[in-house]
Structure 1
Amino acid sequence: MQLISTDASAARGLLDRDDLLQVLDRAVSRRVTIISAPPGSGKTSLLRAWAERATTVRHVTFVSVDRDQQDAQQFWCTVLDALAPETHHAPLDADQLVELIVSELAGHVDPVLLIDDLHELRSADALRQLEQVLAVLPSSARVVLSSRRDPAIRLHQLRLADEIAEIRAADLQFTERETRELLASAEVSLSDGGASALHQRTEGWAAGLRLAVISLNGHADPERFVAEFSGTDRAIGEYLMAEMLERQPSEVQRMLLRTSLVERLNGELADLLTGRAGSEQLLLELEDANAFVLSLDAERTWFRYHQLLADFLRLELRRTAADEVPALHRRAARWFADRGEVVEAVRQTLAAGDWPDAARLVADHSFRWVLDGQAGTIREVLQAFPEGASVDHPDLALAHAAAELNQGRLEEAAAQLALAESHVQSAPPARRRRLSVAIASLRLAIARRSGQFSEVVEQVNLLDASMADEPSESMAMGSELRGVALLNLGIVETWSGRLADAQRHLSEGAALAQTIGRPYLEVACRAHQGFPSKVVSVAAARERGRQAVALAERYGLDDRPILAPALGSVGGMAIWMGEFDEGERWLQRAWTVASTSIDPAAAVLLHVATGMLHAGRGHHRSALEAFTAAAQAQSLLTGVHALAPRITGWLASMHARLGSLDEARATLAGFSADAARMGVLPNARAVILLEEGDPAAAVEVLRDSRSSAIVSPFTHVEAHLLAGTGYLRLGERDAAVAAAEEALSVAESDRLIFPFALTDAAELLHALPGHRTAHGALLADVLDVLRGGPSPRPDQEPFDELSPSELRVLRYLPTNLTRPDIARELYVSINTVNTHIRNIYSKLGARDRSSAVVRARELRLLSAGRA
């Protein structure tokens, strides 16, 4: 399509918008096409370009309506003259006019009548006659109507017949690609970023782009011009003044000017700023008139102005009513603040020049923004304040501390927090308590994020004492601070391995958050409860993690970094149970939500789980890299992470399995004796000895940890498997079988399959006769995983739940025991066993013992873990 030409120095080329011409080609297949868009959208250019191309196959007639045309006879005479320039037409009545127009159209082959600037036609008679023409058009005729607003004619019958095509402002907007092509055609050199910025500022508006290109051509600094380009540009302003603002009634002009200082508005806010009612109706009419007013919701209650129009209007407001501007900003600020729109209220308060008031607004809400998971909002708001404003204002220093903490810049956050604290005593008494509460909460968060675990516990104790001493203080504020304290304390206890204490405090924090209506705080507490302990099984921990994720999804918080521990724990539990593909899916999601400034303690968890995934699949090099990353994250903490011994042990094991025995021994060197008693490090030493070819020494190293009561089940299983491997290499087959059986026994309650994959226990397990093990179902599942086969999901199909007694009988079905044998083992009668077996077959849909075992394995009823 050809743009309206500019002077020779500005535009030496023409831009063909073939895509847009094809849109009009398709539209003209309908009887009537409506082109409705704001001034300067390129409607006339499109019609002329299309007419030039279409005249080779169609009879195209182009008519442009004169400005403020109110004479119907004059309008139709213009149309008739364009259709039949050789013919003289005497004045005719309405019916004769319609008949003659239709007759002229019928006399041409594939005629197309293009009527431009239809919005200038102010004659009701002419519009009514146009309706009649459209109703009786010859079947081969087409009419295209171009206007700044939808024409005031009835088209419902044609719409019902699917004979109306529409091209609107969005269709006419230049794309970013077309913007670049336009710049190139005018020989304007601009960076990709500059071209993109120009497109965004103009919103693809053709006239705005054209005027910008005229100014850019030959400009000494095009990049700077684009950076500063706005509706305050003189050429843009003149165009908008002549084509838009001056055409509006005085009350509309007043509304546009006084509402331009807000980025979005509704009728109520517009009424407040203009001091008169009826603004919503005006806004709706302006949108209908394509007057650069855009609705933001389906109900058309919220609106915004085109960026360039808003810029121009604000400049014009300052020019014509500068003394009113601060008061208008204050009105808008109060309106937004009363409705909880704090960010916009702060912007308006700053625009009014009242930055101390804006600082108080930020401080009053920054603590709650953090509690609601909107800490990023703080940085956005702070960018509008004067440089260095926080030096003299503790409220802003606090907000800066929260913003820095959210970005993971702990030193900067601590510096801002110290600055805020130095101003507390000079603050008004009414604000002192609020400032102290915010400072305490941020100090807790900084200590926890930096791994200062002991300091967190100390701070929580001080807060407890502080709140107990001031019972008259605001209950809401105390509850919020208590919730933050419980969250941070529970997280520290989790990463410190004090899981029972963590469970108690996180549960209390979550319940309190629910009571006071703080869903982000509730999700944060629940996200750290998905970890197994002596009283919480792997399956139960996994379910807790899933529940935390479901809670986050319910609140729309499932993309927040705080959810990473829950996602990581669910993935980790799946990996422990041998479901590597499932674990990988959860870990991928965890890494997706984890921000670049993720809490180092949570990063430790994700790196460890990732290393487990690689190790379980036999990818030792990738596992080594993940465990190394976990160790690096641990080094950022001043406290010791509960996973630190396991990281060290597995890191050493990966080095050993990759043949780097010196690195493996160096990794273990210097670790404390207390950590060694946990059994993790003896396991790693055994791996090194096995790789060195000394199985006897490996078995000896594992002797204490295999019998220790303080060793976790995970480590216990691994120790038995390593010992079994050592015995096998020593030729002590019976001892190897016993160790493997003991490993299965410890693993069965939690279905711990990962240790078998970690230690590559296939050879050891094959030495175990299947008919002699009491854990045949788990053994079969483990061998499936080691062979790389699928790990069936327990929720594949619904089934009737088995009773505890039926489950006890079911566990004996994979063995060679007969029904009388099973009865003797369970101390019940043979009839009871028979009844239970019949029920098992019925509930599982099985025909015999063999098919019942297969189905039970699929459903993991044989080794599903304790509740």
Structure 2
Amino acid sequence: MKTALPRLPERYVRRPRLVVAMEAAAPGHVTLVCAPAGYGKTLLLAEWASRHPDSTAWMSLDADDNDDRRFWSAVLTALASCPAVPQDSAVHRLAVPARPSGDTPFLAAVVDAVDLLPGPVHLVLDDVHELTAADPLRGLAGLVRDRPPGLHLVLGSRSDPPLALGRMRLSGEVHEIRAGALRFSVPEAAEMLAGIDVVLRPDQLRLLVEQTEGWAAGLRLAALSLREADDPDGFLADFAGNSRAISDYLVDEILARLPLERLDLLRAVSVCDPLSASLAAALSGRPDAGEVLDSLEHDTSLVLSSGQGRTWYRMHPLLRSHLLADLRRRRPDVVLDLHRRAADWYDAQGQPVPALAQARQARDHHRVDLLLRENSVSLIADGAHRAVREAMDGLGGRYVDQDPWLSLVAALVDVETGALAAADVHLDRADDVWPAEPTADLTALRVLVHARRVSLAGDPRAMVQVTEDLDATFDGQPELAVIGELDRALALLTVDRRREAQAVAEAATQRARLGGQAYLVARGLTVLAAAESARGDYRRMVTLAEEADGLVPGTDWLATAGAVLSSILRAYGALLRAEPAVCLDLLDPALAFGELQDEPLSAVDPTTRGLRGAALVDLGRVVEGLDELRRARTQTADQPRMAATSALLALLEYPAAALAGRPEAARTALDWAEHSLGDAGDVVLLRARRLTAMGRHGAAAEALRPLIDGTTPVLQPWVVVEAHVLDCHLALLAERREHARASLHRALASSDDMDVLRPLAFGPAEVADLLTSLLGSFDAREPVARRALHARFTLGADDRRTGLTGRERAVLDLLPSQRSFGEIATELTVSHSTVKTHVRAIYGKLGATSRRDAVDRARNRGLFSSGTS
């Protein structure tokens, strides 16, 4: 049973050092045992679990658990079978809904039920690598994230599961045992060999362990041959020669014991992995191929079945590589023919990706060409860009360049994956061989590729123009139509036609859903997320972007511009929630994406750079962050850019420059915003902030009025929160406390509605003081008030937002004394004008209007050095 604790083999080699390592996990940790196949992960977990039989729940995962309901049913069954779970526990009564991983109440009920157990429980999930579907992976991530203190999650996997392992490592939440630790030591290898009656001298044993690198499966394979070897030294001498010799010798010893007809079948099917009984029959010409594979599994374990109904088979990789290498060496013509048969079988099954791979390995350019013409558009719509690119590479550049259809397909793949320079080359090649009378399909593809290329160039006017007539271009080509509609929606967003963009994107996404095109659905969700950003619903923005990421897990999604957009939007949401560290983590895919391309898209994307700079500022790395923000702005100098992007960059750079004590940089950012955006509400806010810094509080309040009363439109909706925070600050400076309270309530309401904490978390100290004094009186807005203050405290916003340089702090320390500015200048060995410059900067950063005011504010914030009067 999949929820029964496995029994240890009779001659199992116990590994106390690894059991001790397992026990070292601290309470609340997640334990990850991760190594490739054959390293003894399951047996180690079983040995460790046997020491805790009363508190261990076990679940062996397989491919069937990619059904979300089956996964959660098995989890609950495993927990219910654990002796530590009493019969009256809610675990026994939980019903699994239709989409459990997306059912928040159900997930919360599972966590609550486990949390209420009388004692700790170890939940072992073995073979987590079998999980590939988005829903159960999302559910597992949620269980890891929200696990109660009494639940110890133990995961066994061949590869790192798609969890936030980097963050968990930083916070010390994960305890890992990897391949290096699982390797058999010399004493452990000796015990293993002795268990099957193989005894070696110490030098022989050390040589064997060195050559296998302690890999348990390799040691066992060697032991099978050593048990019957007349000359262990001769065996080991040949065994130690090189990896090819190791593979050949071991496999030959095993294959020599197989009947010839079985060996011939294994050779024939070695070109595919995994394979079904039907595919095995097509390759070998034997109708009973499935029965032969079944018997090989039962008799030798050289073949393993898996999947629903256990109808798919995999050979041991060492065995398969040997057979295929031997066949290529002896009969290369047969290998090519087998790949052709495999391509035909996969094509007949409606599986174009493996069909293309097999045709390419058969070196059958004609077959690859036909498969691409039949399937390339649908493959791109499904996100299978890598498969199409590899097929193109197999045909060769000269072959592709001579055909306009193939050149356009290559360009479309390039655009989808951000390789813009390569896309331009392929577009030029298509133009060079363009036919005098192109077909409608070829013309439609050309229109789409050009539109996609322009959509990544960043020129709003050009984007709108080239997508204007896309709707009527792709009649009868649903995949191209959806791609074109999504481009149209993005173009409309760039010119602030949000409602129209949202309607187009929703219709396109629905068409993609009906067509079962998960990749295009994910792309549609990112466009809808961008539309929510323009509307100011940042919570919904993040939700849609996360949904997109979950639909197409893996590298095929991560290597696309859609994934980059999702990464940027999720990072933007984290920044606005005052989570700068999370923002930086989420930007990693966008930043890494450019490194993989001929044309580093994300490296020249100002939004990515601007968000990174702002996050660095919020983390206290002000100078580094300001430099990133400046570079983001200057990158836009020669590029047509969305007004919303320009507004975002100005809104992030201006306060960073002020914080760094760089008034000239702040003024430059404001001048640029005024030139780029005119009198937009975003610029109104920056002007009011500048007037405030100059001590012209009345003028600042008057300038801010159009934002407060809503008569001036804004490009970035969260500017409204900033405006209310600044209005509150100005009211406090004018001793208009009731007005300040009203402004603070409006700021909290807007923050809560938008899920935007950053303006409050990094706002003026006076506003934070008022917020603190009024805690308990905000009713429904109380949670957002507490979240803002918690973020402020966690990030040390009060100290950092002061932003004093070292020399300014030295001047500040002398302000409480009776020294004149000239005497301070003499003491610090600087000029009188330098001191006056520093004092003005101090006043601006503290929001002070006089020397006494500055001293009072600095004393209240604890900014004076120890011993300052």
Aligned partner of 2:459 in structure 1 is 452
- State the secondary structure of the residue aligned to 2:473: helix
Aligned partner of 1:714 in structure 2 is 718
What is the deviation of 1:681? Answer: 2.6
CA contact (8 A) 1:424 1:436 kept: no
CA contact (8 A) 2:525 2:547 kept: no
Which whole-Å deviations, capped at 9, do the CAs of 1:21-75 have from their partners, x for residues lacking one? 9944799xxxxxxxxxxxxx9xxxxxxxxxxxxxxxxxxxxxxxxxxxxxxxxxx
The whole-number CA distance in structure 2 between the counterparts of 1:200 and 1:399 is: 46
The whole-number CA distance in structure 2 between the counterparts of 1:618 and 1:512 is: 46
The question of 1:413 aligning with 2:423 is answered yes
The whole-number CA distance in structure 1 between the counterparts of 2:606 and 2:655 is: 18
Letter in 1 for 2:222: A
The whole-number CA distance in structure 2 between the counterparts of 1:418 and 1:249 is: 58
The whole-number CA distance in structure 2 between the counterparts of 1:399 and 1:662 is: 49
Which whole-Å deviations, capped at 9, do the CAs of 1:453-479 have from their partners, x for residues lacking one? 333322222433434xxx5xxx2x2x2
The whole-number CA distance in structure 2 between the counterparts of 1:25 and 1:653 is: 62
CA contact (8 A) 1:400 1:416 kept: yes
Question: Which structure 1 residue ranges, 5 or more long, are not aligned?
Answer: 1-19, 28-40, 42-172, 220-225, 792-867
Letter in 2 for 1:508: A
Alignment of 1:158-169 (within 5 A): none
The question of 1:461 aligning with 2:468 is answered yes
CA contact (8 A) 2:276 2:312 kept: yes
Letter in 1 for 2:457: S
The whole-number CA distance in structure 2 between the counterparts of 1:647 and 1:779 is: 29
The whole-number CA distance in structure 1 between the counterparts of 2:398 and 2:181 is: 41
Aligned partner of 2:138 in structure 1 is none
Equivalenced residues, count: 592
The whole-number CA distance in structure 2 between the counterparts of 1:307 and 1:768 is: 64
Compared CA separation, residues 558 and 510, structure 1 to 2 (3 A): farther
Compared CA separation, residues 318 and 622, structure 1 to 2 (3 A): closer
The whole-number CA distance in structure 2 between the counterparts of 1:204 and 1:680 is: 69
Letter in 2 for 1:549: E
Aligned partner of 1:688 in structure 2 is 690
- State the secondary structure of the residue aligned to 1:497: coil
CA contact (8 A) 1:174 1:204 kept: no
**TM-score normalised to structure 2 length:** 0.56
Letter in 1 for 2:463: V
- State the secondary structure of the residue aligned to 1:262: coil
Which whole-Å deviations, capped at 9, do the CAs of 1:617-658 have from their partners, x for residues lacking one? 888567646645754776796433523223113302210122
The question of 1:206 aligning with 2:213 is answered no
Aligned partner of 2:509 in structure 1 is 510
Aligned equivalent of 2:303, options 293, 299, 316: 293
The whole-number CA distance in structure 2 between the counterparts of 1:560 and 1:372 is: 10
Which whole-Å deviations, capped at 9, do the CAs of 1:586-634 have from their partners, x for residues lacking one? 8745756885249659966666666666777888567646645754776
Letter in 1 for 2:749: E
Alignment of 1:223-262 (within 5 A): 230=244, 240-241=251-252, 243-262=253-272
Aligned partner of 2:652 in structure 1 is 650
- State the secondary structure of the residue aligned to 2:338: helix
What is the deviation of 1:676? Answer: 3.1
Aligned partner of 2:496 in structure 1 is 497
Compared CA separation, residues 316 and 552, structure 1 to 2 (3 A): closer
CA contact (8 A) 1:616 1:758 kept: no
Aligned partner of 1:659 in structure 2 is 661
The whole-number CA distance in structure 1 between the counterparts of 2:757 and 2:670 is: 22
Aligned equivalent of 1:353, options 336, 352, 363: 363
The whole-number CA distance in structure 2 between the counterparts of 1:566 and 1:687 is: 32
What is the deviation of 1:296? Answer: 4.6
Aligned partner of 2:749 in structure 1 is 748
Aligned partner of 2:340 in structure 1 is 330
CA contact (8 A) 2:548 2:566 kept: no
The whole-number CA distance in structure 2 between the counterparts of 1:174 and 1:705 is: 61
What is the deviation of 1:277? Answer: 1.6
What is the deviation of 1:426? Answer: 8.0
The question of 1:274 aligning with 2:284 is answered yes
Q: Which moved more, 1:631-640 or 1:199-208?
A: 199-208
Letter in 2 for 1:271: A
Aligned equivalent of 1:760, options 740, 760, 763: 763
Which whole-Å deviations, capped at 9, do the CAs of 1:120-150 have from their partners, x for residues lacking one? xxxxxxxxxxxxxxxxxxxxxxxxxxxxxxx
- State the secondary structure of the residue aligned to 1:303: strand
Aligned partner of 2:832 in structure 1 is none
The whole-number CA distance in structure 1 between the counterparts of 2:361 and 2:542 is: 46
What is the deviation of 1:441? Answer: 3.2
What is the deviation of 1:701? Answer: 4.7
- State the secondary structure of the residue aligned to 1:527: helix
Letter in 2 for 1:757: L
Compared CA separation, residues 239 and 544, structure 1 to 2 (3 A): closer
The whole-number CA distance in structure 1 between the counterparts of 2:768 and 2:363 is: 77
Letter in 1 for 2:338: L
Compared CA separation, residues 213 and 724, structure 1 to 2 (3 A): same
- State the secondary structure of the residue aligned to 1:659: coil
Aligned partner of 1:3 in structure 2 is none
Aligned partner of 2:546 in structure 1 is 549
Compared CA separation, residues 563 and 215, structure 1 to 2 (3 A): same
The whole-number CA distance in structure 2 between the counterparts of 1:203 and 1:681 is: 70
Q: Which is greater in Rg?
A: 1
Letter in 2 for 1:454: R
Compared CA separation, residues 21 and 777, structure 1 to 2 (3 A): closer
The whole-number CA distance in structure 1 between the counterparts of 2:495 and 2:219 is: 53
The question of 1:375 aligning with 2:385 is answered yes
CA contact (8 A) 1:724 1:764 kept: yes
Aligned equivalent of 2:314, options 290, 304, 307: 304
Compared CA separation, residues 714 and 353, structure 1 to 2 (3 A): closer
What is the deviation of 1:556? Answer: 5.6
| Percent identity of paired positions between Structure 1 and Structure 2 | 21
Compared CA separation, residues 768 and 594, structure 1 to 2 (3 A): closer
Letter in 1 for 2:360: L
- State the secondary structure of the residue aligned to 2:414: helix
CA contact (8 A) 1:333 1:348 kept: yes
Letter in 2 for 1:718: E
What is the deviation of 1:216? Answer: 9.3
Compared CA separation, residues 269 and 744, structure 1 to 2 (3 A): same
What CA RMSD, in Å, does the superposition of the two structures yield over aligned residues?
A: 5.3
What is the deviation of 1:659? Answer: 0.9
Which whole-Å deviations, capped at 9, do the CAs of 1:717-767 have from their partners, x for residues lacking one? 4345435544654xx434x75466356447635636647526624525767
The whole-number CA distance in structure 2 between the counterparts of 1:529 and 1:211 is: 68
Aligned partner of 1:343 in structure 2 is 353
What is the deviation of 1:785? Answer: 4.8
Which whole-Å deviations, capped at 9, do the CAs of 1:170-204 have from their partners, x for residues lacking one? xxx9999569999x979999xxxx99999899898
What is the deviation of 1:329? Answer: 2.8
Which whole-Å deviations, capped at 9, do the CAs of 1:373-429 have from their partners, x for residues lacking one? 3323334444544465433344553454344335422111221233234334289x7
Letter in 2 for 1:741: A
CA contact (8 A) 1:202 1:307 kept: no
Aligned equivalent of 1:404, options 410, 414, 430: 414
- State the secondary structure of the residue aligned to 2:314: strand
Compared CA separation, residues 420 and 785, structure 1 to 2 (3 A): same
The whole-number CA distance in structure 2 between the counterparts of 1:435 and 1:200 is: 55
